[in-house]
């Protein structure tokens, strides 16, 4: 049942209250009167009303515990509940980052060993666990690139970014003072070595590559591209948001990557969405180790400790030791899977995406002929001929109880939608998703108006998105409802 639940200050009960405060012990004066509780406001409701309000709102939520969550480029995995149990163990949940290292050996061991696992998985030499998410990891990598060239007294001002890269890459480079130069991909969706060579010179600090890219394709010339960049003195950053299909298959360090962030909340299955929490550790080759954020966790053979002795570091980029509980959950995931389990994850993720690709190829346009990796890219080219858009398809999914995939991204493909089932989905789950997409394709032909009106079964029906963007209504009490 979908409740048409208003905001709390729209409910207007105002007769009972579910909270109370002790009497004030501070006498009221002219100087402190504005801080006293006479000016403190909360909507006034009884506890049952508040409990029912938030429970009803929870029925609007969609997540991996509800059904398949096929957001391309996001790797929305199911999060095993044992992770939460482990994070709630009192030895972890009651620890404090200001405790002396001697009293934090368990937590420091988790941080250190997780870093070691990530180095082994990626084939890199060093790691920082401080970054809070993927884009933060990008920023940290670009700051290290900046300091690396400053130490070498090289005035490198530009970063190359393929037009199939993740959208945050240009922002991260720009925030570090670099100019961005976009490198085009070819008609097959690949970044070609000869094109990179044409753009690469001594003014270029390096290149930011997402591999597999946002088209869902593996870059087959990654080693040659890295060699070209290195031959001109540049560095290579690897965006690790799409690491999932590479687990146990290749080590990115062997390809020539100098720095790469890893989305622990994606590849290693810790809850994300709604702005966090996340973790974006950065793994680097030895030439960048001196510039890693400080402090880092070290082991002297007896004790784990926080090492602040890093004079060339770019400095601290996160409070304390990063998002510890996310790192802890990722560590639990890695240990529970083991080397063979991680390899199986990548194989099943790729298999699932290509199964969906083949099954839907008759009904939706696929812009690139190569097999997909972990995600598959479609467009609305077939449906557009009868007046149905990618947005209409997404709204039709909502009416069928499925969260839409990523739409109108990547930008290099018109009217795209990007679908990533992950390895969690069974054959039955995939068939369910495929049947829904086929049903939408057929409805586009025999009842297109129904799709244009969708969603009709959700709490809020189709809205004028242009109007909402240009004239947002932010005060809840004047929101209109059907």
Strand partners, 407: 417
Q: Enter the CATH code of domain 340-470.
A: 3.90.1150.10
pLDDT band at 139 (very low <50, low <70, confident <90, very high): very high
Q: Enter the CATH code of domain 81-336.
A: 3.40.640.10
In the chain, which residues fall in CATH 3.40.640.10? 81-336
**Mind spelling out the 3-state secondary structure of 351-366?**
HHHHHHHHHHCCCCEC
Mean pLDDT across 301-329: 94
Give the pLDDT confidence score for residue 15 in this predicted structure. 59
Predicted confidence (pLDDT) per residue in 321-343, tens digit: 889 999 999 999 999 999 999 99
Predicted confidence (pLDDT) per residue in 52-95, tens digit: 888 888 888 888 888 999 999 899 999 899 998 999 999 999 99
The closest of 235, 173, 163, 225 to 198, measured between CA atoms, is 225
The closest of 466, 418, 34, 459 to 212, measured between CA atoms, is 418
The count of C-alpha atoms lying within 13 angstroms of the C-alpha of 18, restricted to the half-sphere facing its C-beta, is 10
Answer yes or no: is pLDDT of 255 > 90: yes
In whole angstroms, give the CA distance from residue 462 to residue 456.
Answer: 7
Instruction: Specify the pairing of strand 204-210 against strand 282-284.
Output: unpaired
């Amino acid at each position: 049942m979908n409740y048409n639940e208003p905001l709390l200050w729209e409910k207007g009960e105002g007769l009972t209250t579910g909270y109370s405060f002790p009497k004030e012990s501070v006498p009221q004066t002219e100087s402190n009167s504005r801080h006293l509780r006479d000016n403190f406001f909360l909507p006034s409701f009884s506890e049952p009303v508040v409990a029912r309000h938030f429970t009803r709102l929870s029925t609007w939520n969609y997540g991996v515990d509800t059904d398949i969550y096929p957001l391309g480029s996001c790797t929305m995995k199911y999060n095993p509940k044992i992770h939460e149990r482990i994070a709630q163990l009192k030895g972890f949940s009651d620890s404090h980052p200001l405790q002396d290292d001697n009293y934090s050996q368990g937590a420091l061991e988790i941080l250190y060993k997780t870093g070691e696992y990530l180095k082994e998985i990626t084939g890199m030499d060093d790691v920082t666990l401080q970054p809070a998410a993927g884009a933060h990891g990008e920023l940290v990598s670009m700051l290290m690139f900046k300091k690396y060239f400053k130490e070498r007294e090289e005035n490198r001002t530009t970063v190359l970014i393929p037009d199939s890269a993740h959208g945050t890459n240009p922002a991260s480079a720009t925030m570090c003072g670099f100019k961005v130069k976009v490198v085009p991909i070819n008609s097959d969706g690949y970044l070609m070595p000869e094109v990179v060579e044409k753009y690469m010179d001594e003014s270029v600090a390096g290149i930011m590559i997402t591999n597999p890219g946002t088209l869902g394709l593996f870059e087959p010339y990654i080693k040659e591209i890295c060699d070209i960049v290195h031959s001109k003195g540049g560095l290579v950053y690897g965006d690790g948001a799409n690491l999932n299909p590479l687990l146990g298959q290749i080590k990115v360090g062997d390809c020539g990557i100098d720095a790469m962030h890893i989305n622990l909340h994606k590849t290693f299955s810790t809850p994300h969405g709604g702005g966090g929490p996340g973790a974006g550790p950065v793994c680097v080759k030895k030439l960048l180790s001196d510039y890693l954020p400080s402090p880092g966790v070290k082991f002297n053979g007896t004790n784990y400790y926080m090492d602040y002795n890093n004079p060339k570091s770019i400095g601290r980029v996160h409070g304390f030791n990063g998002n510890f509980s996310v790192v802890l959950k990722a560590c639990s995931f890695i240990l529970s899977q083991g080397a063979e389990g991680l390899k199986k994850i990548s194989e099943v993720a790729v298999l699932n995406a290509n199964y969906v690709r083949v099954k839907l190829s008759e009904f939706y346009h696929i812009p690139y002929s190569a097999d997909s990796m972990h995600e598959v890219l479609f467009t609305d080219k077939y449906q557009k001929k009868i007046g149905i858009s990618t947005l209409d398809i997404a709204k039709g999914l909502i009416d069928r109880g499925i969260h839409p995939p990523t739409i109108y991204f990547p930008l290099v493909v018109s009217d795209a939608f990007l679908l990533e089932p992950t390895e969690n989905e069974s054959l039955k789950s995939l068939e369910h998703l495929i049947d829904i997409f086929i049903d939408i394709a057929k409805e586009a032909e025999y009842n297109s108006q129904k799709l244009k009106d969708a969603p009709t079964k959700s709490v809020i029906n189709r809205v004028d998105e242009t109007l909402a963007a240009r004239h947002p209504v932010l005060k809840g009490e004047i929101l209109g409802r059907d």
